[in-house]
A and B are shown apart, each in its own frame.
Chain A
């Protein structure tokens, strides 16, 4: 059964594609498909295989379960976080990034808030200043990765199939393909979804949530988990403010109710208004 939407089809296919430096017309030439077929266990299939000799892979087994007999039944005290496996893998990513001095930003938003446009403008402007690489997450298509590849930035597309979020295991596989340079910046553009990606740590340095002024100003309290877990909130498309009924201060106040540590940057990715603040924020976090 599909582990994401519950449908009966065997849709447990995650595709990870490394795009070449040049965008070729024949995409298929560049596509390497990795299929994880694992009964009904989906993308977690890879996770729960134990790698012997790898202390991290076995870390949870150092915990002792406490058991006592219950006639023929046995009680196992588990006391284990349900997302433990994802969190372990995320910490592994984090350690890898730290060792290579890679700063990783996880970009999250609802579909259409302007994640890819912001990324395109950012990469185009700063690519002479920093080394970048990009992981694109979408259910289907190489469209976003192609947009990044045009800028001659190393990019991997994760197609999650039916999955609604990236998880740490997918990022590990993507990073292996990407092989990012030391002392660089990695952008991970998550699947456009303000709910599910909130729960899944990818090992990022900072989480950036993007909302746009064409959305409701109460987005933060409608989808509090995402805003609660983010470090920075970008309010995009501010060039459209004269045409929409969106109060920036109100939107910020709602977001601050959810997370009073949140920083804000207002900008227009397409017109460039306010985008310097974002570049400064990136530079500041690259130094840390």
Chain B
């Protein structure tokens, strides 16, 4: 259940930024999470409420932008949608692919007051 560690890191980051900007409360948090980042979105939902309790994020609107996975084939150079890290290239069926996007785990912005 590393999702809880991830949410705790988000809470810390939000606490720190909110404090730095002299605010007390987060209205909205925008987060980018790649579909290949190793995060189970259901598990994240499950732990969120408990993890943000009594923090600046309690009651904040949470907007998660899911970044689709894209891979590039090292054999034919084709770029394609990657649903799993082990997907093969749809053009040449090679597994020699590199992940281009989909491993993001980023707090983009906060709206604070």
Residues of A within 8 A of B (CB): 1, 3-6, 40-42, 44, 47-48, 65, 67, 70, 72-86, 163-165, 167, 195-196, 198-200, 220-221, 224-225, 228, 254, 256-260
Among B9, B16, B23, B108, find the residue whose CB has the most chain A CB atoms closer than 10 A: B9
Among A3, A70, A221, find the residue whose CB has the most chain B CB atoms closer than 10 A: A3
List 20 other contacts, CB 8 Å, given A74-B112, A82-B105, A258-B86: A3-B4, A6-B51, A42-B8, A44-B8, A65-B21, A73-B112, A74-B23, A78-B13, A79-B108, A82-B10, A83-B9, A86-B9, A199-B2, A221-B86, A224-B86, A225-B85, A257-B88, A260-B74, A260-B96, A260-B97
Are B50 and A1 within 8 A (Cβ)?
Answer: yes
Chain A binding surface SS class: mixed
Q: Would A74 and B105 be within 8 Å (CB), given that A1-B51, A221-B86 are in contact?
A: no
Chain B neighbourhood of A258, CB < 8 A: 85-86
Residues of B within 8 A of A (CB): 1-2, 4-6, 8-13, 16-18, 20-21, 23, 27, 31, 38, 46-47, 50-51, 53-54, 74, 84-86, 88, 95-97, 105-113
Are A165 and B105 within 8 A (Cβ)?
Answer: no
Give the 7 A-B CB pairs with smallest separation, nearest first.
A196-B2, A257-B86, A225-B38, A224-B85, A257-B95, A82-B105, A73-B113
